[in-house]
Amino acid sequence: MQLEEPDYIRSIRQYQDCSIHVHLADSDRQYPGHGQLPFDEIIKIFSELGYQGAFTAEILQLPDQRSAAENTMRHMAPIFSQHYGRP
């Protein structure tokens, strides 16, 4: 969305009824927190809209699969805890 939508925040709100599974990746397709996207703002909006579906990381496995997964959780767990009450 960040690349193709002029205002991805507006698009999240506009298509909230269609959202059943959300893929997360940063602006460089690497793990969240590695690029420029404001994941706190993005997850806050999903939470405010009542989204209860799945969030998954769809990222490049860099520098390796385990590190990418660990870095994703390190960055996203506090954000999910803040907005959903659980990591």
Mean pLDDT of all residues in the chain?
A: 91
Instruction: List, in sequence order, every beta strand (DSSP E) within the chain.
Output: 21-24, 54-57
Q: Mind giving me the DSSP string for 64-84? A: -HHHHHHHHHHHHHHHHHHHH
- Which pLDDT band holds residue 4 (cuts at 50, 70, 90)? low
Res. 42: pLDDT tops 60: yes
Mean pLDDT over 16-44 rounds to: 92
Range of weakest confidence among 15-19, 43-47, 53-57, 82-86: 15-19
Please choose, from the candidates 3, 12, 8, the residue with its C-alpha nearest in 3D space to the C-alpha of residue 50: 12
